[in-house]
Structure 1
Amino acid sequence: MIKRSLGAAALLAAGLWATGCTADLPGGGEVTLDPDGVSVGNGDGSVSMDQDGNTSITGEGENTLNIATADGTVTEDCQGRFVNITANAGEVVLNGDCAAVTVLGSNMTVHIGTVETITVMGTDNTVYYSGGEPTTNNLGADNDVSQGGNAQS
């Protein structure tokens, strides 16, 4: 009987993983499981892990978006906010207008729609902006800030 129950639970879990599933959590959050990975979040932020095990964390305040990732890809809409990115060897895409973006890490690629100020700390980071003429502060080594990239203005 126990073997049948475990087998049924495994079959159900595999079916939910393959087709995708979202479950509401008490307090307004939700858990989403699909072939791309798993995420847990609420209106203030989220934690996610993709199918390769890359993890990212986003947290939102009234005018600030905080992103932390390692070897992952994060895409967010700026919505006029200040953005702080702490990461290593990841990629971040910030679509739309950002007030300011601060990058702290190494081996990052960051794509920004439009932004007033870009500050880069760390090494070997590449930061692109789609439009405008932002003020740039390069406080690290071997960082490149230039127009271009994949973000939408």
Structure 2
Amino acid sequence: MFLGTHPLRFDQKGRLFLPAKYRDELSGGLVITKGQERCLYVFTTDEFQRVTAALRTAPVTAKAVRDYSRILFASASDEVPDRQGRVTVPAGLRTYAGLERDCVVVGANTRLEIWDAQAWADYEAEQEQAFAELSEEVLPGVL
């Protein structure tokens, strides 16, 4: 499970140090791809295989499934962190998410998300009030 908010910086080669607490879990490989709200999703290889299996069972006759799958898989990049825990984020993915130097890595349960630092601050400011005021159960019977 990935948790927390980790402010980080890209180096000049487009590499990012992974949060230290997740380096062991990601050391064998990971998949980076486009996510919603112009962030990047980072999955362990096993979790990405689980997502892939779920999409395999979705009907290819559904346009939304085809569209989502095309973008998800076409933009996906499998990476292996170096010995220092750095991972290269491909230029196309950095452009999609507006990532230049300062970023935030956010734990999102089964994945990490990489956000431009300002985009995350804006998103968080916008969503926190709505989160605090939720009057409906998001997960009925759980929360």
TM-score (norm 2): 0.23
- RCO greater where, 1 or 2, for CA within 8 Å and sep 6 or more? 2
Q: Which structure has more helix as a fraction of its residues?
A: 2
Larger radius of gyration: 1
TM-score (norm 1): 0.22
